[in-house]
Amino acid sequence: MEWVNAILQGALLGGLYALFAAGLSLIFGVMRLVNIAHGDLIVLGAYLGLSVTLVLGVHPLVALVLVVPAMAVIGYVLQRCILNQTLGKDILPPLLVTFGLSVIIQNALLETYTADPQKISAGALETASLSVGGLSFGVLPVMTFVIAVAVIAGLQWVFYRTALGRAFRATSDNQEIAQLMGLNRRHIFGLAMALALAVTAIAGILLGIRTSFDPSIGGGRLIFGFEAVIIGGLGNLWGTLVGGIILGVAQTVGAKIDPGWQLLAGHLVFLLILAIRPSGLFPRIKE
């Protein structure tokens, strides 16, 4: 029963990793941009959530009403003013720019909030639990997993059932022809980044409720997101959920064997899958 519990807890943890990964997968799927600053943007979302809850005195989940659109605006402006200028056949400029952006975000957060660890208080939600079949599940991890499934289903619906999704796919397939058909490539990319950072805001606030955070933890969140994306397959949103679950289960099972193996077990499973299937389990992009 203890091993079953470890696997189920890992699957729930995978929901949070899927939220880390969904924005990355979306950005890469639409514009082939590898965003090195993604982890720091998740941390920025957590700090914005913390500020809103402290200033307005509202519950962190209510803070999403303000933080999600704020991060979406930041994403659109960032893409239109900076990142669009770096996109082209050479992948090095966007990598360098997003790396620089990562450093800037970390230092700005350090100046604004100091290096002291912070945590978003969510009251009874943090400790509430459910008992099912002799197993105990935290309400917050279950809620996080349900939100992850809902977010990915929503992104999938946008991609395949809306005009905006058709614009994303057309621009992703061939930017020049999409331009000739009247689509503004720069605007479409801006909307994709806005959508990705809206998801990042949700991930950041749920991270801030679940654990303490400081300006330096963005790199670790980026690695978890990348691993979930690559395990699931580039460009496949449901694949990011599967990747997150596999990563989460690997970590909790590793921790069950030895607490010091938690992170190592996740990285080893990632490397194993990468060695067997370099494009991930369910790739949509064959590059």
Residue 287 pLDDT more than 70? no
Residue 23 pLDDT more than 80? yes
What is the model's pLDDT at position 28?
86
Q: How confident is the model at residue 284 (pLDDT cuts 50, 70, 90)?
A: low
Q: How confident is the model at residue 286 (pLDDT cuts 50, 70, 90)?
A: low
CA distances from 119 to 61, 123, 142, 227 (A): 14, 12, 19, 25
Query: CA-CA distance, 65 to 58, in Å (whole number)?
Result: 11
Q: How confident is the model at residue 33 (pLDDT cuts 50, 70, 90)?
A: confident
State the average pLDDT over residues 25-36: 88
Q: How confident is the model at residue 29 (pLDDT cuts 50, 70, 90)?
A: confident
Question: Whole-model pTM?
Answer: 0.93
- Residue 86 has a CB neighbour count (10 Å cut-off) of 16
Q: Strands (DSSP E) along the chain, which ranges?
A: 129-132, 135-138
- Asked whether the beta carbons of 215 and 110 are under 8 A apart, the reply is yes
What is the model's pLDDT at position 285?
55
Q: What is the pLDDT of residues 52-87, one digit of tens each?
A: 999 999 999 999 999 999 999 999 999 999 999 988
